[in-house]
Structure 1
Amino acid sequence: MVYQQPGWLEEPATATLAAFRDYITYDILANPSLHAYLKTPAGRKILKEYLADFLFVRSKKLNGFARSHVTDFIRAILRAMGPWIVNDVEETALRKALCELFVRNHSDAFRCVTTDFNKLGYYMPNTIRVTDAALIAAAAATGKLDALKHFVGANKCLLWSHSLAFGYPLDAAVYAGQDVVTKSIVKQAVTKQNRDVAGYSYSEHVSFRQAICTTIELEDQPMTNYLLAKYITAFGSATETCMKVWLDKAIQLSNEEILKLLLALPSQSGPSTIYAAFETACRLSKPDLLHLLFGPQVGQFTLLVNHIQGSTYPLLTAVNAYTTGTFIRSLLELGADTNGPAYLAGLERPLQAATRYGRSIACLVLLGAGANPHLVTPGSLAWVESVKKRYREDTRAGRVFREALEVCEAPKVARDEDFLVEVTEADGDVEVDGGDEVDVGDV
């Protein structure tokens, strides 16, 4: 029997890496007692990182695992699936999937695994009971429609039930790579039959949302395309909550194809949802995705690089997030004004925020791109002196800042004698497009 690591551990196949995986699995995870992990910070960190693998090897053989309530639960589920499991390969694959689903879906998997059963409290033991919802999710993970039909029985609503241990049946089938079961469950949601069951129910909708999130995480492009198309058929345009979750996941994985697909998806979301996606890209420093968020319109809308959104704007968000110089340069290449939008609505200019937080790289990028330090609090020398004090003349940022003060033009300040002067007819003419005059009274 060959054990395979979960997808999120896969690396390029080499003999060295394979040997290291075997060492992690069979020596570090399989042999030490649970106490040996819990007594040191390093041990607890390893256990948290590889909790699903720990459960996998210990659900076959306890080997010093004194607290067996979780592994007993998983083995009980496997016994219930026994009539539909034909060999050891299927049993191993299902046990692996159940262990990973438990860690992914349980609200406090680590505590549940490492705490004595009698100390779990009142609520926690109910999350590791063999319930209808747990059996249905496990049946979906087997890939056997007969098993799924058996446990759902006459109550078809159970197809959308949520297991506290394993999640929704649709998501369990997607995660386990069971395409036949996945498509069968999806068909049940979009069919014209059984309308008393299918429809825009909360659990049915969330089941789809989570399953699509999982396909994005697994980078399964064909299944993502399929589920999104079926989602639109079943529910119409995507909700704002769905879009936020899916966009966030696509940006975390730097998946341009999925991001492009989502931006073109009919949805109920607005610019704030896309801006939240930009903030995620900013926080994770993903400059390669910005051309999709600010580029030519591919769906309902994309962001405008010099527009204020709420109480910020893209360049200010990037500076405040202490992102990389490459990220800021990418925004500038997309047309962001180094001095901020024309109308700031009381917000700081990018250069002011960068200097206030002492972010030298951002300052250098902005000044190198032509940011005008004179535009920050025009007419006041206090800010200029404070920046000179922060960045001395012998530093690169200090030299660039002083050069910008000499090169950039200071804004003209209105004189007292210009206050409410009479406007003549000639003053009302405006020149546009190479000298053509337009009377503002006609505009």
Structure 2
Amino acid sequence: MNIREFTFIIFLMFNFSYAKNHVAVSISNLPEDIVYNKTYFDIIDYTFKKLGVSVTLHAYHPDPNNISTVHTIHDQMMKDGTNYAIIGDTITSTTSELIICQDSYVFKQKGQEIPIISNSATSDTLSNKDDYPNFMRTIPVDSASYQSIIEFIHSFKKKKVAMIYTNDPSGNSGYFRVNKLCNQKNIALLGIQYGENMPDMGNLDGIDTIISNMYMEELFDTWKRFPEVLETKMWVLPDAAMVISEADFELNGFKEVLNNKTNVVIASLFSESNDISKEFKAIKKDKKSFNSLNESRIKLTLIRESKFGSPLPPLGKGYYDVVVSLVEGWKKCGNTYNFTKFISSKFTGATGKVLFDSNGDRIGVMGISRLLLGNNGYPVIAQFEDNTIRFVSNWQSFMIGYTESDIQNSSTRLLMLFITFYLFIL
């Protein structure tokens, strides 16, 4: 073999090794999401190009109601050579959960390690490294980590547990996760989906613990409709988009509900360091306070600062906007960051008594959330009118989504290809 043949082989091997990265982008087929698809791709494409990373984007449309399409899609991902998957809020949390759980054989048996940028539900699932050892960890900043939920289940050691959950996909996925954990611990879970009719609320005799995963307005609406049921202690697992504080209770006029024989402990599990068991034991020892929640007990709300950064601001006071989330989140967390999900439009509770306006919405992959508030010092980066999202003129300067360590920088690849080609023609 002469030097030219040897150089040519090295060239082929190098070109194969540094082939263009294939990135999977999961896109929802939901009508309300389709109008954003071009925005998804524009933002993703811009982010890669800004950092000089050469990629090929592949759009996938998983159907949660047809698992066979999920299998087909992930098989195709393997054939495409996909090495970086973006599974985020373009598909619902429940869909993400189904894709991962139902199609885990593709990733596990074939030994593929696909880093995933995900929403909270998928993060919680993938944080279970025993079941999913090949996944790069995601950081669940805005919701309970898998380990925290385990501690939560351990804390009360009941054999019967009830969970009220929202009919929003995020709440459904929360129910799936808690149900899985309860099954592992031989705990019977009664799932009650929030709605106008909740007949199972009358079947809670002997079940004095209620785990809730729902939006704030649904939570308050349930408290107002079933105060006699909720006189027993109620644990609340807030949704990722819902952070409850004492001020929120006052502003929403529900202080009297809490003080009226309703014993509620709100557990916002923000970091792995939360010792829920310790908090629970402390409450249980103080039987007087345990049996009668007063104003001071509201302050027991377990909202801690995560080691990954401050928690999301309370609902009604603004959210982390996309600029802060991407720039600060990626700097602090490293390769991956957990993007939050937001809800949109005004919502009237089932009784018509609770009016809720979140002023936000989820729009997608990369956590590019439609945050139009611009309060709490966060800049407004977009406006949304007539099903069209319009970014402010300098929005690109805020967008940072990847680090050079995540994906091979194309400039390095081009330099090496040039050197190899130069050696070849000598």
Larger radius of gyration between Structure 1 and Structure 2? 1
The two structures have a TM-score, normalised by structure 2, of: 0.29
Choose between structure 1 and 2: higher helix proportion.
1
RCO comparison, higher one (Cα < 8 Å, 6+): 2
Choose between structure 1 and 2: higher strand proportion.
2
